[in-house]
Amino acid sequence: MMPEAALSSGKPMPRVGMGTASFPLGATDPSTVKDVVLRAIEAGYRHFDTAAVYQTEAILGDAVAEAVRAGLVASRDELYITSKLWVAHAHPGHVLPSLRRALR
């Protein structure tokens, strides 16, 4: 059983998540990242961390969609995806566009 934290909604979120960064950033083949995420979901991971700078947001989204189609999870609601706002995008005029890109 993974330790959990209660969100303000009362829903529990796993404290342990799998990161999707590679070194050097963006160097890992997208199909490898997708396969690793799918295997992590099969193993019970429900929390994944990404960031635009990692270049894995879209790949993670593809893996989540495939996991739902394959029945590994019933819906996207079973998963927690955390991302980060890059410091250069913290200006008020850049925050919403950056968040929209992350959510795509």
Split into its structural domains, the chain has a count of 1
User: Is residue 8 situated within a structural domain?
Assistant: yes
Which run of H or of E encompasses 97?
Answer: helix 92-103
> Exactly one of 50, 54, 55, 59 is catalytic; which is it?
54
Is there a contact between 101 and 35 (Cβ–Cβ < 8 Å)? no
Structure tokens at 21: 């960064």
User: Is residue 93 situated within a structural domain?
Assistant: no
- Give me the residues paired with residue 4 across strands: 14
pLDDT tens readout for residues 72-90: 999 999 999 999 888 888 8
User: Is residue 48 situated within a structural domain?
Assistant: yes
User: Is residue 91 situated within a structural domain?
Assistant: no
User: Is residue 103 situated within a structural domain?
Assistant: no
User: Is residue 98 situated within a structural domain?
Assistant: no
Name the residue range of residue 24's domain. Answer: 4-86
pLDDT tens readout for residues 37-86: 999 999 999 999 999 889 899 999 999 999 999 999 999 999 999 998 88
List of residues 6+ apart from 101 with CB closer than 8 A: 52, 57
Q: Establish whether 54 is a catalytic residue.
A: yes
User: Is residue 65 situated within a structural domain?
Assistant: yes
